[in-house]
Chains A and B, each alone.
Chain A
Amino acid sequence: MTFRRNATKLVVLAFAGMAFLTASAQTRKEFRYTVGPKAAVVVVNRFGPITVRPSSNNQVIATATLHSNKVEVDETHNGNRVELRSHLLQNVNPQEGQIDYDVQVPADAMVNVRTATGSLSAQGLQGDVVLVADAGTVDARNLSNASVHIKTLNGPITLANISNGQLDVTSVGGDVNMNGVTGSRVNVNTASGKIVYVGDFGGDGDYTLSNHSGDIDVTLPQNASVDITARSVTGSVQNDFPLSQKSHTSFAPTQGRSFAGTSNSAGSSVQLRSFSGKIRLKKQ
């Protein structure tokens, strides 16, 4: 009985020790830089997430959590440019090489971040944003008056409340989900990813949602003002939204494969193009 109790204690101690060692292997570092208007902030990370949000002043404040001592942060601050770059000191596995970044930047900063396998999140910014994630996810929300460029291989992309800017999204296999995304030019291009758009396409914008084999689902409110064309080369289309017929289209509409029409004052041009996917347009 005593032996069993001692053995249990040993196991508990061993687990506690391992937990302590793991925790102690993590190092937290903070970097602060004072910058001017429209500062350029670059963060490059191989393993781990990057979160970018607005700071309340003219400072860039970055917190980096390093998961081992086999990786470090190389920092550069030249004039109005701040660059943080993960530096692998030796061959490491993804766990050892991971750094979690939480970066606060002035809202008007121009942000350029890339991660290979972590997630990217940008919110509340008003400057130009470039987000590149090889296999990671991207979440961008509450961005305004900005030029936003997003690239992923197969990471899903979520976009919410993005307004008055230009948006360029390219992904090979990632799904793209958009809610309340408007701008003067919005271009989304995926190969096998599904594209979902919920919103009114703003006013006077130019929208192109295109893919190879994924579906495209668009949900519009009754008051949306759009001039819309939808065409799937070998797939199908389905329209449940009341559209006025257009007198002229650039292609000959084919039943079940394409449709075109306008709603209200037809303020925004919307092109939905799929090669073999299904395109659905419905009322909110």
Chain B
Amino acid sequence: MTCAEFQKVLPYIIETGGIAEQEEHLRTCSTCSDLVADLKYIAECAKLLVPMVEPSPRVWNEISKSLEQEGLVRKATPRGRLLEPTHASRWGPAAWIGSAAILLLILGGLFIHRAHSNRTEDASLTPAAQPARSGLSFQGMNDSADQQVLEQVQTNTPSLHDTYQTNLQRVNSYIADASKSVEQNPDDADAQQHLRDAYEQKAMLYDMATTRSLP
């Protein structure tokens, strides 16, 4: 089993443990076992957020749609989802925005990882199909999550709304440039680092916007 085949069914392997062939690959491949360990850790961290009300179904739909569009998950899941909150009814806007930040980082990591995989391990794809698969765009999710962050800032600290808006644009511009660079040069460690830096900045911005440490 190749890494590409393994990662295609990754969400189901995390849920069910996978079949013998997949377990064998997980045991022998340090790249995939590291990836699974990271995803499990992030999913566990996401559960620790303490929210209050149910996020709008639109939010989950947007996230789900983005993941489906990128081929990271299949359309229907028989039971549960990798990142579904266990206490969804208590989730609040601030917390789901924090989760969105984590999701952004996950997607950023997967983006880098998959861009690399596409180049090194998925050579069976036709050249025409590669850009379609690697052309990951999180624009839809960004719009939605960014909007929620800005609404949160508008509610908490209206005088900072424009500042956050301007800086979100800066970060998104950084992400867009770095993403394009990684697509064009998947093996370029610098390009990958720029993308990680850009996502870190976005996570910081989300964190600053939603944290309750301000009076």
Q: Chain A: residues with CB nearer than 8 A to chain B?
A: 44-46, 85-88, 94, 114, 116-117, 132, 134-135, 151, 153-154, 170, 172-173, 189, 191-192, 210, 212-213, 231, 233-234, 250-251, 273, 275-276
A26 to B214, CA, bound (A): 22
User: Which residues of B are found within 8 Å of A45, using beta-carbon distances?
Assistant: 215
B181 to A132, Cβ gap below 8 A?
Answer: no
Known: A116-B214, A117-B160, A191-B174. A275 touches B194 (CB 8 A): yes
A116 to B157, Cβ gap below 8 A?
Answer: yes
B208 within 8 A of A: yes
B214 to A44, Cβ gap below 8 A?
Answer: yes
Interface residues on B, range: 20 to 34
B117 within 8 A of A: no
User: Which residues of B are found within 8 Å of A172, using beta-carbon distances?
Assistant: 167, 170-171, 201, 204-205
A105 to B205, CA, bound (A): 29
Closest CB-CB distance, A86 to chain B, in whole Å?
A: 5
A116 to B177, Cβ gap below 8 A?
Answer: no
B163 to A134, Cβ gap below 8 A?
Answer: yes
Interface of B is mostly: helix
A132 to B200, CA, bound (A): 15
B200 to A170, Cβ gap below 8 A?
Answer: yes
Closest CB-CB distance, B163 to chain A, in whole Å?
A: 5
B136 within 8 A of A: no
Q: Which residue of A lies closest to B178 (CB)?
A: A275
A151 to B208, Cβ gap below 8 A?
Answer: yes
A117 to B191, CA, bound (A): 33
Closest CB-CB distance, A193 to chain B, in whole Å?
A: 9
- A-B residue pairs in contact (CB < 8 Å), sample of 15: A44-B215, A46-B215, A86-B215, A88-B215, A116-B160, A117-B159, A117-B160, A153-B205, A172-B170, A210-B193, A212-B177, A231-B190, A233-B190, A233-B194, A275-B177
Known: A44-B215, A86-B215, A87-B215. A153 touches B164 (CB 8 A): yes
User: Which residues of A are found within 8 Å of B214, using beta-carbon distances?
Assistant: 44, 46, 114, 116
A151 to B206, CA, bound (A): 12
User: Which residues of B are found within 8 Å of A87, using beta-carbon distances?
Assistant: 215
Q: Which residue of B lies closest to A133 (CB)?
A: B208
B124 within 8 A of A: no
Q: Which 4 A-B pairs have the closest CB atoms?
A: A172-B167, A212-B174, A191-B170, A86-B215
User: Which residues of A are found within 8 Å of B177, using beta-carbon distances?
Assistant: 212, 234, 275-276
Indicate which residue in A134, A170, A273, A275 contacts B201 across the interface (CB closer than 8 Å).
A170
Since A134-B160, A191-B198, A212-B174 are in contact, a sample of 12 more A-B pairs with Cβ atoms closer than 8 Å, ordered by chain A residue number, is A44-B215, A85-B215, A117-B160, A153-B163, A153-B164, A170-B200, A172-B167, A172-B201, A210-B193, A212-B173, A251-B190, A273-B194
A154 to B163, Cβ gap below 8 A?
Answer: yes
B201-215 Cβ-contact flags toward A at 8 Å (1 or 0): 100110010000111
A132 to B209, CA, bound (A): 12
B159 to A210, Cβ gap below 8 A?
Answer: no
User: Which residues of A are found within 8 Å of B194, using beta-carbon distances?
Assistant: 210, 212, 233, 273, 275
A213 to B172, CA, bound (A): 13
A126 to B112, CA, bound (A): 39
Closest CB-CB distance, B196 to chain A, in whole Å?
A: 10
